[in-house]
Each structure stands twice: as structure tokens, then as C-alpha cells.
Copies of this chain bind each other. A is one copy, B any other.
């Protein structure tokens, strides 16, 4: 069983879930509180988690919304306190992880929740939260190793919370939990991992170990994602895609790029409810096309990692991958129209990911990227 200690200790392999009691013991957690979502309660994964515990948890919150809210976190925090819990287990994708982190902040920090937000420079107020064991059930977000959480505040604003204290104390990555993931969700979350890897490699931040990990993740996703989509029961493919997801998050400590900026901006359009991974997949080829002639050495390394010819068109290769795994070819196919752009534009420009992009991006460049991707 692989043991990795970059950022967060991680147990990674089929059957890793069985290590949960040992992990909790190591974290000195005797009364764990589980955070998950209705889908995982319905499909039996929550039951599988409960079966892996040596005794019942202190409590369970299974109402995580698709986009975690301050109100939901407050409710979960009340439940946590009432259960006299002393630690957290997050089971799910990014939403459950983020809600667990928000809960953790609420039960360990005084004052209004929003003062801890990144936009009001609240990171400096963030100290330890209760120990959190993170168990991903998709292969894409890499939230099990990330320093951040995104929560919709009571005032409607989407706020990011960032601190090393928000990195889960332990990740348990069990590819078994992704075996039942449907093809489209496998494809969309898998392309989230791929985009993390590629944007992290291309980011201007210098961090060779993170870059190396990103290249490795991209190589893995390129090879195994089509197989995982075509045959969800292929265990090798599930293993490698969960690893690509984990590696993507390790890699993006060096920042991301404008694919994420635009994806975040469009993801805020409430009525469309667009999937983050699908947005990334659709936008990525166009961002790559726009850096042609720049970052040539890094693009060459990505080509080499993917096993492409030295003169291959990387953007076209990603477009083709999207097509092969059944993802849309354009934003308009997802319901996005020109009318959505004005509101999203400013958000994309000011997104934290923009600064790390391979080439400088201003409003006009974003106009072009949006137009190309539309």
C-alpha cells in the first residue's frame, strides 16, 4: 500500500478504506463526525464507510449541497457540537470536503465566519481545525490534498478559504470507491485532473518537483482516462485516474491558469449549473492554442509525457480526447451564450489563477478565450 507524505499523508490503494479505524486512531479521533452528500447516502458508499468503522460514528451529516453554503456548514457544525465529536471524516467530492473544512473552521474559530475568507485576507486568522480524514469518491478534484475550501456565504457571495491548516490531516484514496462512477462523470472529473496537471506545469511559478508530478499525472490521465470511461470496472484505470487526481492537486501548489479562471467565472452562473470539470475540459484546448509560441519547452515536455510526436498539436490532441470520452466540444453546447459573458468577464480577470498563467492575460485575451471556447 503506497504511503505518500507530500502535503498530506495519504494511504492509496484498493482497500485503503479498511485502514480508516487505524487512521482515526493515529489522529487521536475517538468520536468521528462524517460529512457526506445525499448521492453517496443513496448509492451505498456511506454504508460502506460506516461498515469500515469499528464502531458507529458520533454523527453523520449527509445533506451537503452541490455547492456548500454557510448555512449548511452551520447546521453541520451544530450537529457536530451536539454529537460531542472530536474529529471529521469527509466522504465525497470537493463539496463534502469543503463543507467539512467549513464546519471545522466554525467549531474552532470565534467570530463571524466570513472574516476568515481569503478576499478579506482572513487566512492569517486561520489556526488548527479538528483532524480531518478525507476520502474522495471521484477522481478529479484532488480536494483531499488541497489547502482551500469554497463556500457560498449567507450574503450570497462565493468565498474562498485558504490555509495550510485546511489541508486534510490524512487522505485515504481508495479507487474502489470510484468503480461505480458513471462514464460522463468519470470523463468530466478526469478532465479536471488533466487540467490541473497541464495548467500547473505551464504556470509561471518555479517549482520543479510540482512540475514533475504534474507531468506524471498528465501522462497517467492521457493513457487511462479513455479506458476508465469506456470500462468503469477496469481497476487499473481507476487506480491511475485516482492517482492522476491526487497528483494534479499536488502539482497545483504551483498555481493554475486561465482555464480555471474562466471555469470559475462561468461556474458562478447559477441557472446553468455547469460542471467544473466539463468546463475545464472544453476550455483547455483553446487556452493551449493561445499560448502557441510561448512556453515551448514546457509544451514539449507535456507532449513527451503524453507520448505525442514532437511536432504534435497539443490543443488538437486534447480536443480529440474530449471527443473520444464524450464531452462537449464547446461552451455553447453546454448552454453558455454571449449574454453570460459580461457578468463573468471581471470575475475571470480577477481570479487568483489568472496571475500564474503561462502568458499574461487581460480582458481582451479573456474575450478571445471565451469566443474561441463558445
A127 partner residues in chain B, CB cutoff 8 A: none
Interface residues of A in 240-261 (CB under 8 A from B): 243, 246-247, 250, 253
Chain B, residue nearest A206 (CB): B2
Copies of this protein in the assembly total 2
**Which secondary structure dominates where chain A touches chain B?**
helix
> Among A72-80, A174-182, A211-219, A273-281, which stretch is in contact with chain B?
A211-219
Chain B, residue nearest A253 (CB): B5
User: Is B213's CB under 8 angstroms from A4's CB?
Assistant: no
Chain B nearest CB from A266 CB (Å) reads 30
Q: Once bound together, how far apart are the Cα atoms of A142 and B158, in whole Å?
A: 42
Chain B nearest CB from A103 CB (Å) reads 25
- Indicate whether A208 reaches chain B with its CB closer than 8 angstroms: yes
Chain B nearest CB from A147 CB (Å) reads 10
Q: Once bound together, how far apart are the Cα atoms of A127 and B1, in whole Å?
A: 26
User: Is B247's CB under 8 angstroms from A209's CB?
Assistant: yes
Q: Tell whether A205 pairs with B5 under 8 Å between CB atoms, given A212-B215, A212-B216, A215-B212.
A: no
Q: Once bound together, how far apart are the Cα atoms of A12 and B210, in whole Å?
A: 14
- Indicate whether A3 reaches chain B with its CB closer than 8 angstroms: yes
A6 partner residues in chain B, CB cutoff 8 A: 6-7, 209-210
Q: Tell whether A205 pairs with B253 under 8 Å between CB atoms, given A212-B213, A212-B247, A215-B212.
A: no
User: Is A5's CB under 8 angstroms from B4's CB?
Assistant: no
- Indicate whether A67 reaches chain B with its CB closer than 8 angstroms: no
Q: Once bound together, how far apart are the Cα atoms of A3 and B203, in whole Å?
A: 14
User: Is B4's CB under 8 angstroms from A209's CB?
Assistant: yes
User: Is A216's CB under 8 angstroms from B211's CB?
Assistant: yes
Q: Once bound together, how far apart are the Cα atoms of A4 and B205, in whole Å?
A: 10
A340 partner residues in chain B, CB cutoff 8 A: none
Q: Once bound together, how far apart are the Cα atoms of A206 and B1, in whole Å?
A: 7
User: Is A209's CB under 8 angstroms from B213's CB?
Assistant: yes
- Indicate whether A304 reaches chain B with its CB closer than 8 angstroms: yes
User: Is B209's CB under 8 angstroms from A216's CB?
Assistant: yes
A211 partner residues in chain B, CB cutoff 8 A: 216
- Indicate whether A233 reaches chain B with its CB closer than 8 angstroms: no
User: Is A205's CB under 8 angstroms from B2's CB?
Assistant: yes
- Indicate whether A207 reaches chain B with its CB closer than 8 angstroms: yes
Q: Once bound together, how far apart are the Cα atoms of A2 and B205, in whole Å?
A: 7
Interface residues of A in 1-59 (CB under 8 A from B): 1-7, 12-13
A5 partner residues in chain B, CB cutoff 8 A: 7, 164, 253
Q: Once bound together, how far apart are the Cα atoms of A249 and B12, in whole Å?
A: 21
Q: Once bound together, how far apart are the Cα atoms of A207 and B10, in whole Å?
A: 10
Chain B nearest CB from A64 CB (Å) reads 28
Q: What are 27 inter-chain pairs, A to B, with CB distance below 8 A?
A: A1-B206, A2-B205, A2-B206, A3-B207, A4-B207, A4-B209, A4-B210, A5-B7, A5-B164, A5-B253, A6-B6, A6-B209, A6-B210, A12-B206, A13-B206, A208-B216, A208-B247, A209-B213, A209-B216, A209-B246, A209-B247, A209-B250, A211-B216, A212-B212, A212-B213, A212-B215, A304-B304
Given A4-B209, A209-B213, 6 additional A-B pairs, CB 8 A:
A2-B206, A5-B164, A6-B210, A12-B206, A208-B216, A209-B250
Residues of A within 8 A of B (CB): 1-7, 12-13, 164, 205-213, 215-216, 220, 243, 246-247, 250, 253, 304
The 10 closest A-B pairs by CB, nearest first: A212-B216, A2-B206, A212-B212, A209-B213, A6-B6, A212-B213, A4-B207, A208-B243, A6-B209, A2-B207
